[in-house]
Amino acid sequence: EDEDEVFLVDRKLKAALQNKTLYQLRKKQVFHHILRDGRAVEIEWDGFQVKIEKRNEGWIVMNHKERPLKTENVRPLLGALNQLFVR
């Protein structure tokens, strides 16, 4: 039958969600699908610079000399970038 469902939630949850806009509740991920679709990553921080680029099925460090990287070493970096969100 067509009955409305009722959900009981804790008052703290209700207070946390009350007066929030849809934008405030939305997942605001910085990099979507970087592991799957990423082609290059360039990082500059406090005088440090590095650029890695995807070539074929592998990754190359693009600083001064091009050097291959093991994919298993790049995957944790890309995974960490994929988990960045805007507050």
31-81, pLDDT tens digit by residue?
Answer: 777 767 778 888 888 888 888 888 887 888 888 788 888 888 888 888 888
Q: Which residues contact 75 (CB under 8 A, 6 or more apart)?
A: 35
Rg over alpha carbons for the chain, rounded to the nearest Å, is: 21
Distance CA 39, CA 85 (A): 20
pLDDT-based confidence at residue 1 (cuts at 50, 70, 90): low
Going through the chain in order, the beta strands assigned E by DSSP cover: 40-45, 48-55, 58-61, 67-69
Distance CA 84, CA 35 (A): 13
pTM of the model: 0.54
